[in-house]
Amino acid sequence: MSITITNVRAILTAPEGINLVVVRVDTNQPGLFGYGCATFAYRALTVRSLVEDYLRQLLIGRDAEAIEEIWQLVHQNAYWRNGPIENNALSGIDMALWDIKGKLANMPLYQLFGGKVRAGVPVYRHADGRDIEELCSNIERYRSQGITHIRCQSGGYGGGGFGLAPAGSPDGAASGVYLDPRGYMRATEAMFDTIRSRIGEDIELIHDVHERLQPIDAIRFAQALEKFNLFFLEDAIPLEQGDWLRELRAKSSIPIAQGELFNHPLEWRNLITERLIDFIRVHLSQVGGITPSRKLQIFAEQFGVRTAWHGPGDMSPFAHAANIHIDLAARNFGVQEWSGTEPPNSVIQELRGPRDALLDVFPGLPEFRQGYVYPNDKPGLGVDFNEAEAAKYPCEHGVTTWTQTRLRDGSLHTP
């Protein structure tokens, strides 16, 4: 008997206060279903509507094993293709179908990708601090957990929290997150100088610009940071100014990571084939799930570009698990950003707080142990979902403020 799709649902939950979107695909085989991540935290209701009002009726009755066919069908069904709404909805379905495929095979997904090429996945964590003393202390605490790659920031990405326009802005300037790009550049160079002098050279350091500099300033900034031997500099060039990556590559030897905001293969194809970046940083659900991400990983391998998938808190544990399964089987893996589970009583819990609610809603998350993350080897993605627990943590759908970033004169700037 063929295995067909009988229902598709999108479930919203926020166990850590961040909106998450989970897609469940049911089949005509009793007990056989799959889960996937469709999280677009700031437009969660729109993604749910696309899944339930449009894609459900498109998919019911179709072959649940035809992953490639279904991905292409959903991708082109609305005529206009790509973008964060469609790609996240498609990702939820795609991951759920891969979850089903793994359960049918009675194998964890990495086995379907060719098997492990490493025993565990090394991860990097984010260290921040109100001042350099707190930052260095947090770096040491992470290092005591076996973490060898640490992203260092101090005071965000050159701006504070959302609030009124600061002194020196014009009369009537709107509220926002106000940026000081030049001050941020100076402070970050001083930050890394202190970190290297105190921590030494045996920790791999990472920094995220978050696209908040003008391209010419980003080039000068990269040149200034070269002496600190960073593992990579992330998103130094805004997405809309991608041609500047050629100039950055020509004028600096710093390793470049790019791609957190990518939606479409044309955004990364030339960067990889021309070897303008060293690490590809896409958000798996943002590009449409496991199917396109595996193709991207294999494509990048041919040009010596390594993976460093986006792994923030605004993606569900199904996407974190998908990251890990791809990482385990990828020869061109670089490092994995991680904001998943923590070991009991760890210093990471001291920094972030306990994450019991997340584990109650999503049992079976890959586990962090002494610098590495390991899957649980259950079939498929290996993560379950407790809908009763999820219902205890409703989402909120207010106005997003952290993306309302502005320059001193009150004009909007990319966040």
Q: How many CB atoms lie within 10 A of CB 135?
A: 22
Amino acid in position 355: R
d(CA 9, CA 215): 42
Q: Between the CA of residue 84 and those of 46, 289, 333, what are the distances in Å?
A: 10, 12, 25
Report the residue count for the chain.
415
- Of 110, 157, 178, 372, the catalytic one is 157
126 part of the active site: no
What angle do helix axes 244-251 and 215-225 make, rounded to 10 degrees? 20
310 part of the active site: no
Q: 367 burial class (0-12, 13-18, 19+ CB within 10 angstroms)?
A: middle
- Of 126, 149, 207, 210, the catalytic one is 210
How far is C-alpha 123 from the geometric centre of its chain's CA atoms? 13
d(CA 199, CA 207): 16
DSSP class per residue in 75-143:
HHHTSS--SHHHHHHHHHHHHHHHHHHHHHHTSBHHHHTT--SSSSEEEEEEE--SSHHHHHHHHHHHH
Q: Which residue, 204, 20, 191, is CA-closest to 125?
A: 204
Q: How many CB atoms lie within 10 A of CB 127?
A: 26
Q: Which residue, 165, 259, 255, is CA-closest to 211?
A: 259
Q: Which residues are catalytic?
A: 157, 210
